[in-house]
Amino acid sequence: MKIAVYGPLYNERSKSTIQTLIAYLTKRDAKVVFEKNFHTSISADSDIDIEAYSFDTFEVLEASFNLLISIGGDGTILRAITFVKNLNIPIVGINTGRLGFLATIPMNTIHKAMDEIFEGNYRISKRSLLTIGTDSNAAALDLDFALNEIAVSRKNTTSMISVETWLDDDYLTSYWADGLIISTPTGSTGYSLSCGGPVILPESDSLVLTPIAPHNLNARPLVISSDKIIKLKVSGRENQHLVSLDSRINTLENNTTITIQKAPFYIHMIELEADGFVETLRKKLLWGADPRN
């Protein structure tokens, strides 16, 4: 099995996880390739002799990989997908972060979880993405897709912005707000949820528009079909606004027409048999837990 391993820069919290994973994959005789910067970061720590294993490194991925292991939190997985793109390489996350809706494997269950994966006891959860385009040549984006959400928001001001919004060329409304989030089902448990948006099951063929601190109080999150093409145009007191793709931030000129739609490819997330989305909701959001106990 050919496995890519990605993580943020090495830190003490991830140390034991990395040691355990290296030992496990070595025992399994897997061909392991570390992301270049992550490999350099680990190599700089004297307690982990990663050089002794002669692992290869990657800066870009190829379709020949069987698996990508992300070590970190959900944000790490969001960065990992920028390597996977449309290659259909399954991703699994070992959670050294906090909540972990995407990175679901706890640090203390690595052996058990990896045994399940090597034995094929898992399912693939196909996660839809969003793509973005603009009508301005000056607004070219290095990466034009997002797994969680695409959001427009105000820049360098406390004043709200106006976000004119169309669905399939039909005018919907103008949101007077700090911004607007367009979220996938995967992203519905992230930024959108914190702004009052609904939780949507990953397999749902839908998107949600969630205003950020709207001034027009009758503006509420709206669930739409994922085949809708969303067009936005932002205006406000400043000449520019921000657009973020899974927290990758870009600056656009006001009155730029932004087009957002479902991407033509999916990200494949590995789910273990005992770790489905509903189970994750119960664990992470404490649904069903009685606070009196």
For the annotated catalytic residues, the residue numbers are: 74
Tokens standing for residue 84: 């996977």
Handedness of CA 191, 229, 158, 137 (dihedral sign): positive
